Amino acid sequence: MSSTPPELTEDEYEDEVRFKLLHNLIPKHEVKFAEEWLRKYEVRRSASSSAKRDAREEETLSIARRALSIAEDANAIATRDLAAAVSQARWAKWAAIIATIAAIIATKDQILALIFTP
C-alpha cells in the first residue's frame, strides 16, 4: 500500500482505503500498512497545505510592502509639492503687495486731487 493504483488519484485512494478499513475489508495483516499509509498521506497533505498557506502569507506581505513603498513615494512627492506651494504663495503675496504699491503710484495725482480739492 505504498503507492496508489494508476487509475485512482491519491484522494480517491484515500477514500477507498478509509472505506475498506471502516468496513473491515482489508486483511488483518495489511491493516497496519493501510493505517501507516493514511498517516503519512495526512502528514504530506498537512505539509502541502501549510506550504500553500505560507506562500499566500508571503505574497500578502510582499503586496503590503509594495503598497507601503508606493505610499511613501506619494508622501514624499506631496511633501515636495507642499513646500513648492508655500513658496509660490509667499511670492504671490509679495506680487500683490508690489501691484498695490504700483497702482497707488500710478494714480497718485488722482488720489491727491481727491484729498486736496475742495
Q: In the predicted model, is pLDDT for residue 2 greater than 80?
A: no
In a domain, 4, yes or no: no
In a domain, 54, yes or no: yes
In a domain, 100, yes or no: yes
Does pTM top 0.75 for this prediction? no
In a domain, 3, yes or no: no
Number of domains in the chain: 1
Count Cα atoms within 13 angstroms, Cβ side, for 58: 6
- pLDDT tens per residue, range 43-79: 988 888 888 999 999 999 999 999 999 999 999 999 9
DSSP label at 75? Answer: H
In a domain, 1, yes or no: no
d(C-alpha 4, C-alpha 40), whole Å:
13
Can you list the positions of beta strands (E) in the chain?
none
In a domain, 83, yes or no: yes
The three grid cell numbers given for residue 64, joined into one nine-digit string: 503590503
| Containing structural domain, residue 36 | 10-116
Residue type, 18: R
